[in-house]
Amino acid sequence: MAKIIDVSHHQTPAQFDWPKLAKEVDGIIIRVQFGTNVIDREYKNFIAKAKQYKIPFGLYAFGMFVSVADAKIEAQNFLKRGDSEAKFWALDVEKETIAACGTKNLAAASQAFIDVLKAAGKKTGFYYEHQYVGKYKLETVKADFLWIPRYGSNNGAKQTNYAPAVACDLWQYTSVGLAGSNHPVDLSDLRGSKKIDYFFGSNKKTVFAKHDLYLLPRGDWNAKSTKTIHEGYAAILNYDVMDNGFVQVEFQGKTYFYSGAIEPYWYTKNPNKRYEAVKNVLTRADPRWGGKASFRMKKGEEINVVAVVAGWLKCSKSGKIGYLPNDGKHLKKK
């Protein structure tokens, strides 16, 4: 059983015995904003205390958007206000959200909000009230995890006969729980196959370069690149270490920095396909006959193919790119 609390300015850090809390809970989820215009008065203080006592934390934003476009703006403000050490970023949708947005575009606006977070490389969560299960197409919203509240008699204990009626990953089971304080607080537990490390463990992600990227020694586009990662090569993004919005990149045993955005720079699934040379071949620098030569391959040699371009296989070898026709006469799939 996991013990996770979520807090906002309806509580204050001074209400908690932090050494005691650090021993009791697996993590804290901290509200950052109530829509764009209301910034949570205590969120920075809660984050500071969580860091001081080494309690892993996630962040959430209460949605008050009125449209899809407004949802994107709210998400961007959430990213600006949040903390780079957060393990995940969640959207909270409740009756006030529906009053602001209406039901017609609620799912689309929620997805737009979450997609902004995903594009920034964040692990995302989606929370909505149990009374909306099966309504307004909320089940179509895709986030990395789903967090659902259902309290039963709300006596501070988890009541299994009141488990959420929809498959979810976190179950907020009471609003009057106790943890490190005599003041009531929301408590959540795991629900589903995801373990506690998924939410509060290391924030690392294996990725593959979409094209040659010039890695940096620090979080500054003007810094001189100290390493090139070639297209198709694997690296690890460590979101627990950030510098000026840049994420730490682990590559070939050393660390660098690059933009934390995923979509423009990285594949999250391995794009490489293994091929074998059918005969001795000479690759071309461009996907056409008559162009400059690139590198040679011997019969039986294996190669990574990172893409198919205009009917040619784009091959990557030791940082060099070469092309061969995708005709089965030069290379064959392993």
Describe the crossing of helices 68-81 and 106-119 by its angle, rounded to 10 degrees.
40
Question: What pLDDT does residue 61 have?
Answer: 98
Are both 240 and 278 inside the same structural domain?
Answer: no
In this structure, the answer to whether residues 192 and 294 fall within a common structural domain is no
- Do 10 and 50 fall into the same domain? yes
Segments forming the whole domain that contains residue 166? 4-200
> pLDDT tens string for the chain (334 positions)?
899 999 999 999 999 999 999 999 999 999 999 999 999 999 999 999 999 999 999 999 999 999 999 999 999 999 999 998 899 999 999 999 999 999 999 999 999 999 999 988 899 999 999 999 999 999 999 999 999 999 999 999 999 999 999 999 999 999 999 999 999 999 999 999 999 988 998 778 899 999 889 999 999 999 999 999 988 889 999 877 878 878 899 999 999 999 878 889 998 889 899 999 999 999 999 999 988 999 999 999 999 998 899 999 999 887 789 999 999 999 999 8
SS3 48: helix
| Residue 55, H or E segment | none
Domain's final residue, options 171, 200, 229 = 200
Query: Tens digit of pLDDT for each residue in 270-305?
Result: 989 999 999 999 999 999 998 899 999 999 999 999
298 and 160 housed in the same domain: no
Domain boundary, last residue among 200, 221, 251: 200
Structure tokens at 232: 């198709």
Q: Which of 267, 285, 319 is where one domain is finished?
A: 267
Task: Please give the structure tokens belonging to residue 238.
Answer: 């460590």
Q: Are residue 215 and residue 283 in the same domain, yes or no?
A: no
Q: What is d(CA 93, CA 137) in angstroms, rounded to the nearest whole number?
A: 13
Say whether both 20 and 50 belong to one domain: yes
Based on the fold, state whether residues 183 and 263 are members of the same structural domain: no
Residue 38 backbone phi and psi in degrees, to 5: -110, 105
- For residue 328, the domain's CATH number is 2.30.30.40
Structure confidence at residue 242 (pLDDT): 79
Q: Are residues 117 and 145 in the same domain?
A: yes
Q: Which helix (H) or strand (E) holds 22?
A: helix 18-24
pLDDT at 307: 87
Whether 33 and 156 map to the same domain: the answer is: yes
How many domains does the chain fold into?
A: 3
Contact 64, 97 (CB under 8 A): yes
Q: Specify whether the CB–CB gap between 141 and 111 falls below 8 A.
A: yes
| Residue showing tokens 């501070």 | 156
